[in-house]
Amino acid sequence: MTLTAGTRLGRYEIHSQLGKGGMGEVYLAQDTTLNRKVALKVLPVELAANQDRMRRFEQEAKAAAALNHPNVAHVYEIGEADGLHFIAMEFVEGKTLREKIHYQQVELRKLLRYLQQVAGGLAKAHAAGIVHRDLKPDNVMISDDGYAKILDFGLAKLIEIPTPGPDGETTSDAQTVAQIQYSVPGRLLGTVGYMSPEQAQGKSGDIDHRSDVFSFGCMLYESVTRQRPFQGESNVASLYKIVYEPARNIAEFDPSAPPELQRIIRRCLAKDPEDRYQTIQDVAIELRDLRRELEGDAYLDVTIAPSAIGGRGVGVKGTSPHSESTIGGSQTIASGTAAEAGGVTNETAPAVTTSSSEVILGEIGKHKKAVVLTGLCLLLAVVAVIFWWGKFVGAPKNEPFRSMRITPLTTGGKIGNASIKGYTSISPDGKYVVFRTTEAGKDSLWVRQISSGSMVKIVPDVEGKIGGTTFSRDGEQVFYSQFVKDDSLGTLYQVPVLGATPRRVMGGVTSPITFSPDGGQFAFVRATPSESVLMSANVDGSGEQKIASRSLPNYFAFGGGPSWSPDGKQIACGAGSFSGSQSATIVAVPVTGGAEQPLTQQTWVSVSRVLWMSDGSGLIVAAIPQLVSAGTQLWHVGYPNGAVRRITNDLNAYGTSSLGLTADSKTLVTIQADKSAQIWVVSPGVDARGAKQITSGKNDGETLAWTTDGQILYTTPSGEQSDIWSAATDGTTKKQLTLDAHIERLGCASPDGGHIVFSSNRSGNFNLWRIDAGAGDQKQLTQGAEIDSQAVCSPDGQWVFFRSFRQGKSTFWKIPLLGGNPEQVSDTSSTWAAVSPDGKMVALYEAAAHRIVVIPFGGGAPIATLEVSINSRDVGLGWTADAKAITYAASLADADNIWSIPLDGGAPRQITNFASGLIFAFQMSRDGKQIALSRGSQIDDVILLRDGE
């Protein structure tokens, strides 16, 4: 259950939810007795009955409460109130280490300081016999005053350590710290990507403090490279890499990374625990020494260091003379005969009794003038070389948004009662930001002046939907597309930056526009049912010209639109294919027309907005890296080399078409989205208070289905895959039905309960599969490169209707449940289908036209065409039990609800009564008495990313 603000648990008053996890929900609460904020970790009622969960819950509290260290979050108490078990702990205001690494792009030296503190806190835990076992950047909080705090000892393991006896001797094992073993051999506890090899293999008996050392090494690696060391295409692939494959060389990501740090990380990540650091305290000491060197404590040693075999070299104090060193921020590689002879280091070099300084002083006595003149010449030469190297060779390249400062312009996803809905851009001078909001089902455009924070609504409450926005080159005008029910291609309007009556520019503008360097023309994408066309026109809408086109299933990205290069010669745009592979990249097309050229070899699932850097050195790109992911992320693509670097790399998603760049390419504006969805069950007509939440995951129920016996099937993502689960309508008896390295999307369960039909990419493309509920046998039903999904089982159990995306068009087909050849049911472009309970009709939802078309079961002319609101949601379709009405989702007054529309064309009727929240998927039960919904929220906030700060 989710606790609401104001709920009391003993002396603690809930303020808001901070997060969810496998061991419970965490809330910000007020200790009303001591008048302080606390983080309250609450174990759900249904999990408290699980003895293993309860033991681990109590274990976390006892383990962490035993620690008193400035870098470990303090536990105040463990308690119970109103049947709920909770832990009250220190509330740390700040950011997680993951946010510092990926979100704020904090420089390495600061990250090492945080990690040194983490190592100190771990050393305290290990000294108390506590192994964390789930160490990861998400479990390290950096407070606002710059101190690291280790959180979440939910998987902590207490190990045996010797304790002094009364006479100073070591006590027997029976008298040592109690060993609490709640791990089942072969069961994986921890987080994939940060597990040690012994954890990944389920060897719970082999896990000790050195497992934390490995996880710590993973965090160190990620701090340097911004990548996980053992990231695979799936959880299974990641586990295999942890156990059997070495991490990629850090120098591949950052050639300037200090060699000493690379050595520390390699030793932390040794597969064999015996080869790792034996204590985390040793790691802390080495990090301390390394930080001192990086911060300038080391001084330049100009003495001649003798090698093992008489060679000479120039080195830096604290380093081998033949190692890589850093001088004034420039990398200097010094060589010596020892290195040339096979890498003998100072650690293994034989001792010499005569120092180089003694030799030099002796020679100075013999040749004073010559030595002085020679020394001056050498000194000047060294200074000149250092200057030249630092300026032209060794200086780090100015990579855009390698480090940046992020500033939120909105919080909570709302302006008054209006919800922020993306499509943001920034004026060339960086003074204004425009973004779209929705209130009571109507879109508006707002402009915020960044310096003052003042806001003005410049386009109020339009009919239809507002699309992507663009500022004119002089920053005086905002251009936007507007879509209404009978205009799916879009119409372009312009409005002064501080508001006035909008002026229509031209029709057929689907994407955001991009201006030529002189501002006299703009380019855009027009998406028709058969092709997407890259177009240009004069700034007043005249002189329309076709530059290039792609016939479906190939397309230009109309959601994000094109970008005109600074030299005015070419236009870049996202381009892809709707084939089964769903791949996209970035191409450039000459302004005068001609063949398109790829700008990079990198491919994504989809590419939306593309923006050129002002100097033409690269592009900023919004793209989705994988089908199951955190969503759209931001990337930098170099030009002309095509090198790709990820700018954002966190669990948040960023707006697909919500991206703007100032004229100096120093500031980005985008939308940061935080989505949360859980499964709910409600009966039609019942008040929202009667709805029951049955799951508590972060993103449950992207697809849903009902079984004959009243179980709910749903999908839940896990890493780069998603699997099918089942649960009873009261949230009990949860069971995972698929477990593989692929993506599953639910369709339906056969009426006899014998089969489940779903879509999966296990064959490479998304095709339909059937799993036998009893034996678990699986059979592929459809083949080919099409994208087949959204299966619907007929009431007689003979047929499966499904959506097939072919040649750029979504149409519905049917295939025998037991296998056979598919047959097309309708050539109407539709996104959802539902078969009537009597098996006589099929309803098809035409999302682009905002209507529902009903046809006979066997196909043919429409029986009825039902118009629905432009605010209808493309998330599902159903029937009432009497087959007299069709159900769909729609948004009204900032809340999504389920509606029914009579087949005879009567007025739609609202059948759920939620006052807030979004619906991401829904399914009617077979008897029509219950509705399963994936329901939650998505908070969109406008943020600025400032380069180099």
Residues 718, 699 contacting (CB under 8 angstroms): no
Q: What is the DSSP string of 336-397?
A: -HHHHTT---TTTSPP-SS-HHHHHHHHHHH-HHHHHHHHHHHHHHHHHHHHHIIIIISSPP
Rounded to 5°, angle at Cα 590 from 524 and 551: 60
What residues are paired with 14 via a beta bridge? 29
Instruction: Please state, in angstroms and rounded to a whole number, the distance separating the CA atoms of residues 188 and 192.
Output: 9
At 512, list the tokens: 């955001």
At 644, list the tokens: 């790709």
Instruction: Please state, in angstroms and rounded to a whole number, the distance separating the CA atoms of residues 444 and 502.
Output: 12
Q: How many CB atoms lie within 10 A of CB 526?
A: 21
Q: Nearest 5°: phi and psi at 932?
A: -95, 130
Residues 313, 277 contacting (CB under 8 angstroms): no
Element (H, E) at 240: helix 235-244
What residues are paired with 459 via a beta bridge? 445
Q: What is the DSSP string of 550-576?
A: EETTEEE-TTT--EE-TTSSEEEEEEE
Residue 134 is a catalytic residue: yes
Nearest to 98 by CA among 222, 253, 230, 240: 222
Query: Rg of the Cα trace of the chain?
Result: 31
Q: How many CB atoms lie within 10 A of CB 236?
A: 15
Residues 714, 724 contacting (CB under 8 angstroms): yes
Long-range contact list for 824-831, CB < 8 A, 24+ apart?
A: 825/801, 825/855, 825/859, 826/853, 826/855, 826/859, 828/853, 829/529, 830/803, 831/790, 831/803, 831/874
Q: Nearest 5°: phi and psi at 942?
A: -85, 130
- Residues written for the chain: 949
Q: What is the DSSP string of 661-674?
A: E-TTS-EEEEEEEE
Q: What is the dihedral of CA 824, 828, 832, 838, to 10 degrees?
A: -60
Instruction: Please state, in angstroms and rounded to a whole number, the distance separating the CA atoms of residues 920 and 344.
Output: 62
Q: What is the dihedral of CA 687, 689, 691, 692, to 10 degrees?
A: -170
Rounded to 5°, angle at Cα 313 from 310 and 314: 150
Nearest to 57 by CA among 45, 76, 42, 37: 42
Q: How many CA atoms lie within 13 A of 17 on its CB side?
A: 13
513: Cβ contacts below 8 Å, ≥ 6 apart: 468, 470, 479, 492, 522, 523, 524, 561
Q: How does DSSP classify residue 225?
A: H
At 833, list the tokens: 């289908």
Active-site option among 31, 82, 134, 487: 134
Q: Hey, CA dihedral for 674, 680, 683, 688, is it positive or negative?
A: negative
Residues 313, 335 contacting (CB under 8 angstroms): yes
Nearest to 441 by CA among 782, 891, 906: 891
- 3-state SS of 66-102 is CCCCCCECCEEEEEEECCEEEEEEECCCEEEHHHHHH
Element (H, E) at 242: helix 235-244
Q: Which residues are designated catalytic?
A: 134
